[in-house]
Amino acid sequence: METIHFLVISPYRGMNELVHEVLLTEPQVQADCYVANLTEVDSLLVKRNLLNYDAIISRGGTAAHLKEHVSLPVYDIGLWSLDALRAIRLAQTFGQPMAIVGFETITSHARVLCELLDYDIPIYTIFHKEEARPIIQQIKNLGISVVVCDVIAHDLALSMEITPVLVTSGYESVQSTIQQAITLTRGYLQSRRELTQLTMAFQNNPVSCTIFDQYGRIVMSSLPEYEKKLVLSFLQEHFKKLWENGDASLERSIKGSSLRFTMKKSTLRNHTFLYVYSLLKEKQEIRKIDAITEKNAGSNTMMDFSYFNSTHNLSSTRDLIEKYSHVSTPVLISGEKGTGKDLAAYNIYCKSSYRNAVFYQIDCAYATERNWTYLLTHHESPLAHNGHSIYLKQMETIPPQIFNQLLSYIADTRLATRNRLYFSFSTNNENYDSKPVITGITKLFSCLSLHLPPLRERTDDIPYLTTLYINQMNADLGKQIIGFDSRASLALKQFPWDGNLHQLQRIVYELMLITTTPYISYENTMRLLHQETALWISPGQSGYQFDLNQTLEHITYDVVRMVLKEENNNQSRTAQRLGIGRSTLWRILKTHSDIPDQN
C-alpha cells in the first residue's frame, strides 16, 4: 500500500508531540510536523512545497484559515468536552476573574459545560481572527485577568498582560482525526502523485531551483538547508521585480556573498510559475562565540511579566520594568542566581523602542580572554554596532584587568549612547566579589537599579508560579494536569529553593513528565524534593545519592551540578576537576532541559 504524506500544523508544541505519538502506530504514513498559530501559518506555507503532501492536518481557527487558502484537503483536530473542562478547572485555581474566548470549536463545548455545572463564566466566540483583539481588549477593560482560550487568543491575551490558559486537545481526538484523514486520502492519492512527478521534472538541473507561483508563494525548492534562510528571504523580498524581469540572468550581493540566479517562467495546467535557478558563493565563516546569544523581538513579540506577578512587594518589579522600557538609560539588575535577571532584561527590551533591533546577551562567565579581545577590538563585534541592546550578564565573573578595559571601551566609544545597555550580577556568587562591579558601573553611569528578591522571600507566590508553569508546560508537553494536591503545595512552600525560579520550574517540569493523573501527588513531590536535597548535600558530608535508573546524560548532569556545588559555583575549577573545557561545561548546564534560562 502506497505511503500517505501529511503536512501537520499544530498551533502549540504539545499537540505536535501527541501527533508524533499517534503516527508511531501508522507505518503507512509519513508527516512533516510544524508548530504555527493562525498568525504564523501563512509564512510557513510559503516555505513549503505543498505538492509534496496529500492533505493537511491542523486545529481550530488555523484549520479554518487553511481550508480557505489552500487547495489540499484540510482535516480539523476537534476538541472533546473533557478537554475544555480540564482547562476551565485549571484556570479556576488562579482564583481570579476569568472568561472563555475562542473559535466556536471551543466555546460550543464550554457553553454546554457551564450550563451543566452552573458556572457563571462569560463566553466570547471569535468567528474571524480580526475579532480577537477587540474582544481581548474588552475583557481587559472589564477587569478580567485570566482567559481560557485557543492559540490566537492566547498570544493576544499575553500581549495585553492577561494570563491565558490554553485548551489542549487530548490523545483520542488527535488519533480519531488522523485515522479519518488516512481513510479519506486514499481516494485521490494516485492523481496527486502524478502531478508531483510532473512538476519535479522541471527541477532536473544540477543548480538549486526554487519554484514560485504568481502570488510569490514557494511551490518547492531544492536549495540546501544552509542556504534557504539567506536565499529564500532575498527572493521573496524581491519577488515582484523578479516576476517582472521574467526570463533573465542576474547577480546580486547578499551580506557579503554573491548570488547568481537565472529565471524562467513556465505554464502548467493554466498556472504560470517562476523557476529561479540559483548559485550562492561560499562566504567567509563568521566567528561564533558560545558566550554570545542573539535574540530578536520585533513589534509583535508578546512580553511575559508573569514571573514578576506577586501578592506583595514584587509587584513593584513589574511596574519598574514597564517604566524602564520607556527610557534608554543603562539598567543594573541584581539578585541571586535563578531569580529571573535575564528575563527581566529581555522584558524591558521587548517593550522598548529598541525591540526591532537585535538583543545581544553576553555571558561574561563563559567569555575567554580571546573572546574579550574579539569583543573589544573586532569591527564585527556586537559592541561595535549601533542602535542595539547589549546585555552583559554575570558581570562579577569578569577578571579585574578585562573589567577595566571594558569600562574604558564603553566610555571611549560612547557605547551607552549608541546602544541600550543592561548589566546583571549575582548577589550570592560566593566565588566572586560584586562590589567592584557595582562601584565601577555606577561611577561611569547613572544606572537604573532593579533588584529581584529570592524565592524564599516570596513563598506566598509559589502556588501562583506553579500554576503558571503547569499552564505553560501543558501546552509544551501535551499534558492536561490541573495542579498539585494540597499537601504537595504545602511542601513546595516549605522547601528552601536555593536555586530560586529556575529550580522551581525544573522541579515542576520533572514532576509533570512523570505524572499521569490530573493532579501532581504529594508522594512524587516529596520524592523529588528529597532527591534534590540529597544531591545538594554539603561538601563536608558524604553519601551523595544518584538515580542510576536515569540516562547517562542525566547522570552526567547530576555529577556536574554536584562538583559545581563543591567548587562554590566556580566554573573554571569545576571544568578542570572534571577534565572538560568550560564551553563543554556550559553546554551541559545550558542544554540539559527545555526549560528557559532564568538567571
Most confident region among 106-115, 217-226, 379-388, 529-538 by mean pLDDT: 106-115
φ, ψ dihedrals at 314, nearest 5°: -70, -15
Superfamily of domain 292-453: P-loop containing nucleotide triphosphate hydrolases (3.40.50.300)
Are 93 and 148 spatial neighbours (Cβ–Cβ below 8 Å)? no
| Helix or strand run (H / E) with residue 322 | helix 315-324
The Cα–Cα gap between 149 and 139 comes to: 12
Rounded Cα distance, 421 and 395, in Å: 13
116: CB partners within 8 A, 6+ apart: none
Residue type (1 letter), 268: L
CATH architecture of 457-591: Orthogonal Bundle (1.10)
Parse the chain into domains and list their residue ranges.
4-78+171-192, 81-166, 205-280, 292-453, 457-591
pLDDT for the residue numbered 262: 81
Choose the CATH number for 81-166 among 3.30.70.920, 3.40.50.10660, 3.20.20.210, 1.10.1740.10. Answer: 3.40.50.10660
CATH superfamily of 4-78+171-192: Response regulator (3.40.50.2300)
> Fold match between 205-280 and 292-453?
no
- 257-285: average pLDDT: 72
Q: pTM surpassing 0.85? A: no
* 18-60 tens-digit pLDDT: 999 999 988 889 999 999 888 888 999 988 888 888 899 998 8
What tens digit of pLDDT does each residue of 418-460 get?
999 999 999 888 777 778 888 888 888 889 999 998 988 888 8
Rounded to a whole number of angstroms, the distance between the first and last alpha carbons of the chain is 53
